[in-house]
């Protein structure tokens, strides 16, 4: 029998129980900094050193963090389902929990890229990026993060994957950031849809989803067990 396809759209909330702060859209701050200063091209052009420092801190804490029960539960699905995780997160906790097919919509904290050519991407082995580190074309390296106002190239890879989902889960995202939030519109009407977020009942664009208003680390191990039991008996 053909394996069912599970597609997950995750956001900052899934990493909250690993100690990483979420992004609070309501007051426009991320780790006490104004979004304009640390997550826009204008912020980078105004003070690149400050922006590098901000992401150096995120890289340091991201590497120290460990995958939580939610990341681990998702990884357990893989032998029984075809699973793709589409994440808005820049951390690598899904991969470190064992998930093998992860699409990062908004970039990766452990990568740098050229500031003149987005195709020139490098893995960061050390933890602190510095001014004066150059790409092969001679421009300053910046974090490989998609900032507000920039294109989200991976959305084109994500849409057809969402369309194939038999089971679709939205986990730990406020669904405020587009185009990522618009992915819910591409889910087939026949798919089973879950929304896991303590504030899920108040979010507007997941009508028709089965809402589980709990923390991801509390809700996912049992949901995953139910799905694994169903796969066994099917």
Contact footprint for ligand NAD (CB under 6 A):
11-17, 20, 22-25, 30, 88-91, 106, 172-174, 176-177, 196-199, 215-216
β-strand partners of 195: 170, 211
Contact 35, 28 (CB under 8 A): yes
Whichever of 128 and 201 has its CB closer to ligand NAD, that residue is: 201
Q: Minimum CB separation from ligand NAD for residue 217, in Å?
A: 6
Q: Which of 145, 90, 136, 146 is nearest to 116 (CA)?
A: 136
Contact 163, 132 (CB under 8 A): no
Whichever of 90 and 102 has its CB closer to ligand NAD, that residue is: 90
User: Which among 80, 106, 126, 207 is annotated as catalytic?
Assistant: 106
Q: Minimum CB separation from ligand NAD for residue 1, in Å?
A: 32
In the residue annotation, 126 being an active-site residue is answered as: no
Residue nearest to ligand NAD (CB): 13
Q: Minimum CB separation from ligand NAD for residue 66, in Å?
A: 13
User: Cα angle vertex 212, ends 211, 216, to 5°?
Assistant: 130
Q: Minimum CB separation from ligand NAD for residue 143, in Å?
A: 12
Whichever of 142 and 215 has its CB closer to ligand NAD, that residue is: 215
Percent composition of the chain: helix, strand, coil (DSSP 3-state, to 5) = 35, 25, 40
Q: Which of 116, 102, 115, 94 is nearest to 48 (CA)?
A: 115
Catalytic residues: 106
């Amino acid at each position: 029998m053909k394996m069912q396809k599970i597609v997950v759209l995750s956001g900052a909330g899934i990493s909250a129980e690993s100690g990483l702060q979420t992004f609070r859209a309501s007051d426009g701050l991320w780790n006490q900094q104004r979004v304009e200063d640390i997550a826009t091209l204008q912020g980078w052009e105004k003070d690149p050193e400050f922006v590098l420092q901000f992401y150096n801190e995120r890289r340091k804490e991201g590497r120290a963090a460990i995958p939580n029960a939610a990341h681990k539960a998702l990884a357990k699905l893989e032998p029984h389902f075809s699973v793709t995780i589409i994440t808005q997160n820049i951390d690598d906790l899904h991969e470190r929990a064992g998930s093998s097919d992860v699409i990062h919509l908004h970039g990766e904290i452990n990568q740098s890229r050229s500031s003149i050519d987005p195709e020139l991407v490098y893995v960061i082995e050390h933890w602190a990026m510095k001014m004066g580190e150059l790409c092969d074309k001679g421009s300053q390296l910046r974090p490989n993060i998609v900032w507000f106002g920039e294109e989200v190239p991976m959305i084109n890879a994500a849409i057809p994957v969402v369309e194939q989902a038999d089971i679709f889960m939205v986990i730990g995202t406020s669904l405020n950031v587009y185009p990522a939030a618009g992915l819910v519109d591409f889910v087939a009407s026949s798919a089973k849809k879950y929304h896991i977020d303590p504030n899920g009942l108040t979010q507007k664009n997941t009508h028709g989803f089965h809402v589980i208003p709990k923390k991801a680390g509390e809700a996912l191990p049992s949901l995953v067990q139910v799905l694994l039991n169903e796969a066994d008996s099917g």
